[in-house]
Structure formats: C-alpha cells, structure tokens
C-alpha cells in the first residue's frame, strides 16, 4: 500500500526511517490529493513526503504575478546555494493547464528537472489545497483567475513551517527559515 | 405547540436521522456583490438544489459516529482546529446546552465538506448561497428593501450570549429556512472572496497582491448585511471554527 | 510584506522624515519634538498595563525605548446605554471607550488583538499612531476565537484614536469600537494631580431617545447622521452622580478627550472652567486660555486646567441640544474650601423694575403711597395707570389705544369695553385667545395673562383706559381685582359667534 511505496522511496533516496512513522496531525499531506506532473506521471500528494520543499500555486495563462512567482522561487533557490530545496508548483487551472502545457512552461522557463515539479489536480482538490495553504483564488468570467500569492515552506513531514507573500524579491527571513529547516532534516 | 416540539425532538433523537430535505432552485442571472468580472457584471447561477435547513447537532452527531475519523478526539489537526465541536459534552455525545435541533456550530470547512459528501452533496458556492439568501417569504430578491437589511443587521447586533435558537424559522420563497438569523454558514469557495484585510482599500489597485485586478471590488456597498457576511467568511481559514458558524449542503 | 506595501510604508516614513525636518528648522517655537526612531528596544520586554476609562494608564517613567507587549481583547456585550435601555456594544476590552494604552515615543509595540470566541463578528484595529498600512488594520483582521499579532514602532508622540476598521466600518465604530493610545514625548508629560480619559461618541438606535428596552443599531439613522444619543464614555450617566470625575480645589487636571464619532465633531467645553492649555487635535503646539475646543471625529485633544473653587463642573458638547437632549454630559466634582475672591456665589437678589425703570414713574409711587394711606383718588389711579400702560400695554395696543389693524384690537372707543366695563379685569387676569370682534372688525390673536401685574396695577391701568379715548369712564378698585383673581379659573375664551 502507501506505506510500502513510501519505504521504497526512502530506500531509493536514502532518506531517514522517520518515514515509517504516522503522518503528524498538522501535516498537509493528510489531504488525499492526486496530482499529475508535467511529464504526465500521476502521484499522491503524500508521496512528496521525505524532504522539505517549497510549494506554491500558479497558472500558466497568468499575465503578471505567476511569472514573478517562478522568478522569486528561482532567486530563493540561488540564495540558498549550495543547499538545494525542491519546489512544487500546482496549477489553479486544471482545464487549460494540461501536462503538455506544463511541460511547455517547464522548458520555456528553463526549470531545473532535479528540483522542480509543475503539477495539476482536479478542481475539487485545487480548492482544498488552496484552502490548506491559505491561498485565495477566484475564477473570473473572462477566464482570468484572481489569486493571492504565497510561497510556503513544508518540512519533511508536510508541516507548514514558514510562508511569505513577498513576490518579486527574496524574503530574507523566509530564506533563513528554509536554510534552518534543511539543516535540521 | 410544546407537545409538537417535544415529539419532534424525540423523533429526531431516537430514530435514525431522516433524510435531509432539499428543494430545487432554478437559478438565474443576478447582481452579486462580487461581480463576475470583478467590476460590474452580473453572475449566472445554474439550477441547483439546496438543503432547506442547516445541518443540526443530531445529524452531525450521527455523522461522527459513522465516520470516526471526524470525531473531535481523532480528527487531524490540519482539518479542524482545537475548538472543533468543543461545545459537545464529549466526542460522541451532545451537552445539555446543545439541543439536537440547533444548527451544529464549531465545525471547520473540511468537516462541513466531509459531511456533505456523506450525504451525496457538497457545500453551496458563495453565489448559490447569496442567490438563495436574497429571497424573503414573498420575493426572490428582497435585497433592496431596507426592512430586509435591517432585520438581518439586528441579528448581527444580538450578542452571542443569548441562547441559540432551533432550526425551523420561516421559509423563504424557495422553501429554504434559516439562511438568516441563526448562524453564519460555510460556502465551498469561502477563500474566493478575496477581500483585503483592511476593507477601506477596496479600490486600491495592489496588483501584486491579487494578481491583476486588485482586491475584489465589492458592489452594492450599502448592502451592509451582505458585506458583513463576506467580511466574516474572508476572515476564516479552512480549519477554523467559531461558535456562530455552521453550514448546509447543496447538490 | 510585498513590494507595493513596502513601498508605501517606506514612502510614509520618508514623508514623516521630511515633515520632521521642517519642524526641526523651527526649533525655537516647538517643544521637544524630535524624530521618533530612537533605535532598537532596550531591556526586557514590558507587558503594558492598560486602564479602564475614565482612568488613564500610569506614565511609563522611562527614558529609553523598550519593547512593549499590548494585549487587547474584543468583546461583544449587551450593556445599559441609558436608564432602562440596553444596547449591544462591540468593545475593546469590555468598555466603551476601549482601554487606554500608554507607550513612549520610539517604543516597539508588539500588538496582540484577540477576538473572544463568543463574538459573532470578525474585527481588526487601526491605531492612528501607527505608521503602516491601515494603521495595523491590514495585519489584524481576526475571526472570533482567534488572535492576530503585528509589531509597529511608535514614531510620533501624541494622543491618538484607535478603532475597528472591519466592513462596514461605520457600524463597528458606532457600536463603540474606539479608544485612545497615548504616545508620550521622550521627556514624558508634566506631572499633574489628576489625569482622566473621556471619549465622546454618537449612537444610533431604532427607538427614540430613552425608549426603554434592548435597542438595535439603526443603519439608516447612522447614514443620515441623526444620532439618538451623544454620550461621553458610552452611556448616559457614565460620568455623573457617584461616577463623576473627582478633584480638589487647587489641583491641576489633565483630560485626554477623544471623539470616536462615527459622525459628529465635538465642541468640547467645561462649564465654569477655562482650559489653561490645550493641545488642539492632540498636536504638539499648545494653545492657552481656551473656552471651547473642537475635537474632530476620529481625533483627540489634551486639555489642562487648574481648579480654584469648589463645585460641579459640567463637561459638554457645546452643540448644546446634544448635551441636554441626547446625553452629552459629564461631571467633574471639585471639593474644597470656597474662595470668594474668585467666585462669590449669589450676593444680591433685589427687585428689578424692568420697563418701569423710567425716570417718570413718580405717579406710580404716589398712587402706591396713597393706596396704602387709604386716600387713593381716581386721578391718582389715572396718572399711575397711564405710566404703567406706557410700559406694558402700549407695545401692542399703541400709545393712542388704536391697536394694530387685523392684529391687536383697539382700546379707544371700544364697543367691547362699553358693553361691559368690568370685562377688562378678567382679560388682564386670564388673557384672551381666539376670535373677538371689536368696533365691527374681527381679531384672532393671543393675549397672554398679565401675571406680572398686581391688583393695584391692574386697577390703575383699567381705570386709565376707561377714562381715555371716549371710553365710558368709571374706576376699578384693587379689591375688585383681588376678588376676581380669587375666582379665576382657565384663560378667557372669546365667546362663540
């Protein structure tokens, strides 16, 4: 079942055996969300468990802020170097953001396959994920999506450790939080 | 009258909870306080079915017994904060002050969604809720009537210390009861209301904050009764509960 | 914070720097006004002790910037607004106005806003002393059963209003969500004998003023700016009777006076006192010798005065119908010994003759003397009556007795008098209202009873009239008038035609 998969994952990545333990009550991996990444591969949200990562939400037709979100995430990664942190970006717009479209953006923005994942899930799960990340969004009649922007830091077990809504430049406090979380895990 | 109330209470608490009642609402186009294009366009609500009453303590009790992962002593903290169902006596029993026929409160958005799913339903969207709630006993849209607004505002003015009422208020023109005057209610897209935390910068084009259109323009700014409901929902997070917040389902 | 908001905060900081720079150039006339950033906080964090109105939080007594932790809880509760009338107030800390907060310029304030779990509404706070988005409102939007925290540096000294800014803002403010925060100047305020906290607000209920029972808020009246109550400290009688503010003679009193609004501006005055010093609008410049000071809605002032004589000094909004018909009234009771050299109290109560203080009232005095001696003649009466007539009756009936056509009937050759020469007695005693026909013309006016005239005066006036302008003649005695007065009932009505 899930536990076997997780243990296998742990074996492959050499992560520590904390994964055998039950998910903490405040872990957002408690949400039973199924995602598909830019390569078309399906995965459970809880499979991301194991190491700290940055998570945020966007959509590819977004004219203004979403490109900035990607830029900010890249800058944040650079500020952390040589330490590395994984990034998961989930789309608000599953209808238009198919895996092919996500792959297109992946290439256009020259994202690093070793740490980046762009993903989509169904509308019901988008609402749940946004709710748990405290992100607001609303679809407008013309297809635009109004949304708030936040970068959220998860620890290896999926607990929210830090967040920032500073977009366009690096948030020094947030970077410090990421660094310290990476260090302790 | 009292005999009727007692027999209803007995019926509710003894037998298995009877199937909840839903009515058809045809929907239509109307002027929402949150315009469809974030400026002024009307919103179209597709036909839907709405529960005539909010979910009660008795119904929710039944739900946590059959779905024990939603018991207050077992629920994951990410789905419901510490005060979830704190008003009950314990995880599977109501208290003396929590009558079976009162709307259940201190429930989170996740818990409300799970309940509705168990009934083969979902939470209503803000627009659906707003559409149904615009009605009074005789009109589909009573929002322009100062008396309607005043009666809603007077519920806001009543302190919570007054004892909570039971369901069973007057039906509106669709046959739906207790949308006003009893408890705030969750909606599916509570985090779509995009109201700035400081309500005074409504027209501030803070594009970085809300990606383009700025914080939502609220229309109909003198409809305070509805504005306050929007303010209330925007202040909440998905795992939050309050002693005045319940829900009902839609299909 | 994102870039846009940060830009705004930086801009406002720069703006205040520029403004302060200008003030610095004017050092000679300003007091000790300096830029408010004195560096990082020093020492252990301090938990602020807030005060319930009308008391003021104690002076900080510090000369260095500190970190101050302020905790304030919003409580929605039903309380009396007037005798037998209750209202659901939304309060900061359980009182209207909310608790008094006191910090020092340069302090770093860590603000905790709690929303009591039993409340229905979300709330936030905007402190006018905060430099930052919404005055803190953007960062303190709190659902019931939750707590928000934000931190600000108190850059400007002064007395500032704080209030809730959740939509609809007017309703939250109208329900009592306001208070004052004092940001002390770095050297502190001069010590005084008493500091008190008073805040005016306007309230809007669906029922009338003093209509009993639980009264809901009336949004229409609030929008129309037609308050039902205008009150100091949230209730009629909040600061009167045994809750009056207290002081002794020869003491200095400082009042921090705020105006929460939501709508009205206050014309603040203390009856019987003059403000020796006023920091108008709470600013740094001091005005002296002020009777009444304007406090804007959403503003505050600091007034100081020295008490000299004992008594009850009434604090009012001098838009006076608010004080006497809507409740904008508070008392400062000053006890102590009298000082007649400053205020003597009533010294003399003597007769003032009013319109009879003309030099030629000799005839009146003569008649009075003759009447008491028992030898009053008709001629005496006529002469006295003429002088009295001039002072009292000629205003309407004219010196010639002609009256005013269409308004006041004539006395000259009056057929009404001819028909019954005694009738004037009852007219002077009871007045005459309604339709009356004199000399063929109709009049419909109001003549009030001549309550200020005694029996002798009435007798003398009528005697003069009877003997003037072709009237029948004769005389009326004071005794006749006295008898008629004893028999008097309701005012005379003109007989139906």
Instruction: Tell me what the pLDDT averaged over chain A comes to.
Output: 88
Strand C213-215 to C275-279 pairing: unpaired
Chain A to chain B Cβ contacts (< 8 Å): 92
Contact of B74 with chain C, judged by CB distance below 8 Å, is answered with: no
What is the pLDDT at residue B93? 93
Distance CA B126, CA C261 (A): 34
Q: Which two tokens stand for residue A136?
A: 């607001």
Supply the DSSP symbol for C208. Answer: P
What is the pLDDT at residue C255? 97
Would you state the torsion angle of the CA atoms of residues C430, C435, C438, C440, taken in this order, to the nearest 10 degrees?
Answer: -170
Q: Assess whether pLDDT exceeds 70 at residue B108.
A: yes
Q: Where are the beta strands (DSSP E) in C51-98?
A: 67-82, 85-92
Q: Which two tokens stand for residue C468?
A: 């003037």
Average pLDDT over residues C385-389: 89
**Judged by CB atoms within 8 Å, which residues 3-32 of C form the interface with A?**
3
Res. C28 pLDDT band, cuts 50 70 90: very low
Cβ distance C167 to B228 less than 8 Å, yes or no, reads yes
Distance CA B135, CA B31 (A): 13
Q: Which residue of B has its CA nearest to A58?
A: B211
Average pLDDT over residues C326-335: 92
Instruction: Tell me what the pLDDT averaged over chain C comes to.
Output: 87
Q: Which two tokens stand for residue C144?
A: 């019931």
Q: Which residue of B has its CA nearest to C167?
A: B199
What is the pLDDT at residue A16? 47
Cβ distance B153 to C219 less than 8 Å, yes or no, reads yes
**Plot region of B221 (φ>0 → left; ψ -120 to 50 → alpha; else → beta):** alpha
Place of tokens 């302060």: C20
Find chain B residues with C-beta within 8 A of C137's C-beta: 197-198, 200
ipTM of the prediction greater than 0.90, yes or no: no
Distance CA B164, CA C477 (A): 80
Cβ distance C165 to B228 less than 8 Å, yes or no, reads no
Separation in Å, CA of A19 to nearest CA in chain C? 33
Q: Assess whether pLDDT exceeds 70 at residue B7.
A: no
**Mutation choice for C interface testing from B147, B197, B203, B226 by most C CBs within 10 A:** B197
pLDDT digits (tens, 9 = 90+) for C221-265: 999 999 999 999 999 999 998 899 999 999 999 999 999 999 999
What is the pLDDT at residue A17? 47
Find chain C residues with C-beta within 8 A of B234's C-beta: 122, 141
Q: What's the number of CA atoms in the CB half-sphere (13 Å) around residue A163?
A: 14
Does an H or E element contain C46, and which?
Answer: strand C46-47
Which one of C2, C121, C145 has the shortest CB-CB distance to B209? C2
What is the pLDDT at residue A152? 96
Q: Assess whether pLDDT exceeds 60 at residue A145.
A: yes
pLDDT digits (tens, 9 = 90+) for A15-27: 444 445 789 999 9
Q: Assess whether pLDDT exceeds 80 at residue B200.
A: no
Supply the DSSP symbol for B163. Answer: P
Burial B16-55 (b: 16+ CB within 10 A, else e): ebeebebeebeeeebbbbbbbebeebebebeebbbbbbbb
What is the pLDDT at residue C494? 56
Percent of chain C at pLDDT exceeding 90: 65
Distance CA C72, CA C386 (A): 77
Contact C256, C180 (CB under 8 A): yes
Does an H or E element contain A6, and which?
Answer: helix A2-13
Q: Which residue of B has its CA nearest to C3?
A: B208
Q: Which residue of A has its CA nearest to C1?
A: A166
Place of tokens 């970085």: B208
DSSP secondary structure letters along B45-104 = E--EEEESSPPBHHHHHHHHHHSGGGSTTTS-TTTS-TTTTTTSSBTTB--TTS-TTSBP
Q: Assess whether pLDDT exceeds 90 at residue B35.
A: no
Q: Could you tell me which residues are beta bridge partners of residue C202?
A: C230
What is the pLDDT at residue A93? 93
Chains contacting C (3+ CB pairs below 8 angstroms): A, B
Is the bond leading into B31 cis (omega within 30 degrees of zero)? Answer: no
**Plot region of B151 (φ>0 → left; ψ -120 to 50 → alpha; else → beta):** alpha
Q: Assess whether pLDDT exceeds 90 at residue B145.
A: no
CA C247-C249-C250 angle, 5° bins: 110
Helix H, strand E, coil C: the string for C400-447 is: CCCCECCCECCCCCCHHHHHCCCHHHHHHHHCEEEEEEECCEEEEEEE
Contact B206, A166 (CB under 8 A): no
What is the pLDDT at residue B8? 53
pLDDT digits (tens, 9 = 90+) for A72-113: 999 999 999 888 999 999 999 999 999 999 999 999 999 999
What is the pLDDT at residue C356? 46
Q: Where are the beta strands (DSSP E) in B133-243?
A: 184-185
Supply the DSSP symbol for A115. Answer: T
CA-only gyration radius of chain A, Å: 16
Res. C9 pLDDT band, cuts 50 70 90: very low
What is the pLDDT at residue C269? 96
Reduced to 3 states (helix: H, G, I; strand: E, B; else coil), residue C231 is: strand
| More confident site: A178 or C23 | A178
| More confident site: C495 or C374 | C374
Average pLDDT over residues B84-101: 92
Res. B224 pLDDT band, cuts 50 70 90: confident
pLDDT digits (tens, 9 = 90+) for A158-177: 999 999 988 888 999 999 99
Contact C146, B219 (CB under 8 A): no
Res. B212 pLDDT band, cuts 50 70 90: very low
Q: Where are the beta strands (DSSP E) in C262-417?
A: 266-270, 275-279, 287-290, 292-295, 299-306, 311-317, 329-335
Contact C59, C189 (CB under 8 A): yes
Cβ distance B232 to C141 less than 8 Å, yes or no, reads no
pLDDT digits (tens, 9 = 90+) for C167-210: 888 999 999 999 999 999 999 999 999 999 999 999 999 999 99
What is the pLDDT at residue C174? 96
Give C433-440 contacts, CB < 8 A, sequence gap 24+. Answer: C433/C491, C433/C492, C433/C493, C433/C494, C434/C493, C434/C494, C435/C494, C435/C497, C436/C409, C436/C494, C437/C497, C438/C403, C438/C409, C438/C410, C438/C414, C439/C409, C439/C410, C439/C413, C439/C414, C439/C415, C440/C415
pLDDT digits (tens, 9 = 90+) for C351-368: 555 554 445 667 887 888
Most confident of A8-17, A114-123, B174-183, B229-238: A114-123
Instruction: Tell me what the pLDDT averaged over chain B comes to.
Output: 83
Q: Assess whether pLDDT exceeds 50 at residue C16.
A: no
């Amino acid at each position: 079942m899930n536990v076997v998969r997780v243990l296998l994952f742990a074996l492959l990545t050499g992560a520590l055996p904390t994964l055998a333990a039950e998910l903490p009550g405040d872990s957002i991996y408690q949400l039973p969300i199924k995602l598909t990444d830019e390569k078309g591969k399906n995965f459970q949200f809880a499979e991301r468990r194991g190491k700290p990562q940055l998570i945020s939400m966007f959509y590819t037709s977004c004219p203004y802020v979403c490109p900035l979100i990607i830029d900010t995430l890249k800058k944040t990664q650079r500020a952390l170097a040589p330490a590395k942190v994984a990034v998961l970006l989930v789309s608000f717009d599953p209808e238009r953001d198919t895996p092919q479209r996500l792959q297109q953006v992946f290439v256009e923005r020259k994202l690093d396959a070793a740490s980046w994942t762009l993903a989509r899930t169904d509308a019901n799960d988008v609402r749940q994920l946004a709710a748990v990340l405290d992100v607001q969004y609303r679809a407008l009649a013309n297809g635009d999506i109004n949304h708030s922007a936040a970068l959220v830091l998860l620890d290896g077990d999926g607990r929210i450790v830090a967040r920032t809504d500073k977009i366009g430049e690096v948030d020094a406090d947030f970077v410090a939080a990421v660094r310290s979380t990476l260090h302790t895990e | 009258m009292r005999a009727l109330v007692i027999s209803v209470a007995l019926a509710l608490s003894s037998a298995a909870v009877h199937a909840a009642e839903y009515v058809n609402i045809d929907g239509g186009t109307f002027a929402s306080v949150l315009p469809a294009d974030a400026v002024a366009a009307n919103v179209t609500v597709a036909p839907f079915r709405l529960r005539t009453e909010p979910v009660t303590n008795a119904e929710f009790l039944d739900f946590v017994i059959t779905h024990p992962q939603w018991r207050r002593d077992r629920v994951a903290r990410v789905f419901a904060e510490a005060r979830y169902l704190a008003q009950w006596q314990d995880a599977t029993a109501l208290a003396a002050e929590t009558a079976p026929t009162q709307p259940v409160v201190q429930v989170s958005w996740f818990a409300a969604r799970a309940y509705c799913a168990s009934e083969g339903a979902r939470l209503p969207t803000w627009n659906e809720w707003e559409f149904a709630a615009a009605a009074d006993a005789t009109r589909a849209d009573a929002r322009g009537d100062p008396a309607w607004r005043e009666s809603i505002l007077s519920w806001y003015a009543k302190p919570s210390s007054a004892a909570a009422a039971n369901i069973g208020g007057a039906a509106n023109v669709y046959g739906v009861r207790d949308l006003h005057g009893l408890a705030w209610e969750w909606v599916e897209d509570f985090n779509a209301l995009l109201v700035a935390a400081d309500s005074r910068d409504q027209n501030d084009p803070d594009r970085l904050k809300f990606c383009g259109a700025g914080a939502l323009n609220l229309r109909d700014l003198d409809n305070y009764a509805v504005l306050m409901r929007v303010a209330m929902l925007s202040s909440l997070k998905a795992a939050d509960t309050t002693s005045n917040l319940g829900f009902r389902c839609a299909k | 914070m994102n870039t846009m908001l940060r830009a705004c905060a930086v801009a406002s900081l720069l703006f205040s720097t520029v403004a302060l720079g200008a003030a610095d150039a004017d050092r000679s006339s300003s007091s000790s006004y300096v830029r408010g950033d004195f560096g990082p906080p020093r020492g252990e964090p301090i938990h602020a002790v807030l005060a319930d109105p009308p008391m003021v939080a104690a002076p900080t007594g510090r000369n260095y910037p500190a970190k101050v932790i302020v905790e304030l809880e919003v409580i929605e509760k039903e309380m009396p607004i007037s005798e037998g009338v209750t209202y659901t107030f939304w309060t900061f800390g359980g009182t209207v106005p909310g608790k008094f907060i006191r910090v020092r310029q340069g302090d770093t304030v860590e603000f905790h806003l709690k929303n009591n779990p039993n409340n229905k509404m979300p709330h936030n706070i905007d402190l006018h002393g905060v430099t930052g988005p919404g005055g803190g409102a953007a960062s303190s939007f709190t659902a019931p059963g939750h707590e928000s925290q934000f931190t600000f540096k108190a850059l400007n000294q002064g007395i500032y209003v704080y209030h809730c800014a959740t939509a609809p803002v007017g309703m939250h403010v109208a329900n009592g969500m306001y208070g004052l925060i004092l940001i002390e100047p770095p050297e502190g305020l001069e010590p005084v004998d008493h500091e008190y906290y008073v805040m005016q607000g306007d309230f809007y209920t669906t029922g009338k003023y003093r209509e009993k029972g639980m009264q809901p808020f009336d949004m229409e009246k609030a929008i129309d700016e037609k308050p039902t109550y205008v009150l100091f400290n949230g209730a009629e009688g909040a600061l009167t009777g045994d809750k009056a503010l207290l002081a002794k003679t020869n003491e200095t009193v400082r009042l921090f006076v705020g105006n929460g609004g939501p709508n009205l501006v206050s014309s603040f005055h203390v009856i019987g006192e003059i403000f020796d010093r006023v920091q108008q609008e709470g600013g740094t410049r001091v005005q002296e010798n002020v009777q009444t000071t304007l406090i804007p809605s959403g503003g505050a002032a600091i007034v100081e005065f020295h008490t000299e004589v004992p008594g009850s000094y009434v604090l009012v909004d001098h838009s006076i119908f608010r004080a006497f018909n809507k409740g904008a009234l508070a008392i400062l009771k000053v006890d102590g010994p009298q000082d007649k050299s400053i205020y003597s109290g009533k010294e003399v109560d003597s007769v003032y003759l009013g319109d009879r203080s003309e030099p030629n009232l000799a005839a009146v005095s003569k008649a009075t003397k003759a009447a008491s001696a028992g030898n009053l003649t008709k001629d005496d009466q006529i002469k006295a009556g003429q002088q009295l007539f001039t002072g009292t009756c000629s205003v309407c009936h004219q010196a010639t007795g002609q009256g005013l056509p269409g308004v006041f009937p004539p006395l000259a050759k009056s057929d009404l008098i001819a028909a019954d020469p005694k009738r004037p007695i009852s007219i002077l005693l009871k007045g005459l209202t309604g339709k009356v026909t004199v000399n063929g013309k109709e009049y419909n006016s109001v003549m009030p009873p001549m309550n200020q005239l005694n029996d002798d005066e009435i007798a003398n006036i009528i005697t003069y009239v009877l003997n003037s302008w072709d009237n029948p003649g004769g005389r009326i005695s004071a005794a006749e008038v006295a008898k008629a007065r004893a028999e008097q009932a309701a005012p005379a009505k003109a007989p139906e035609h």
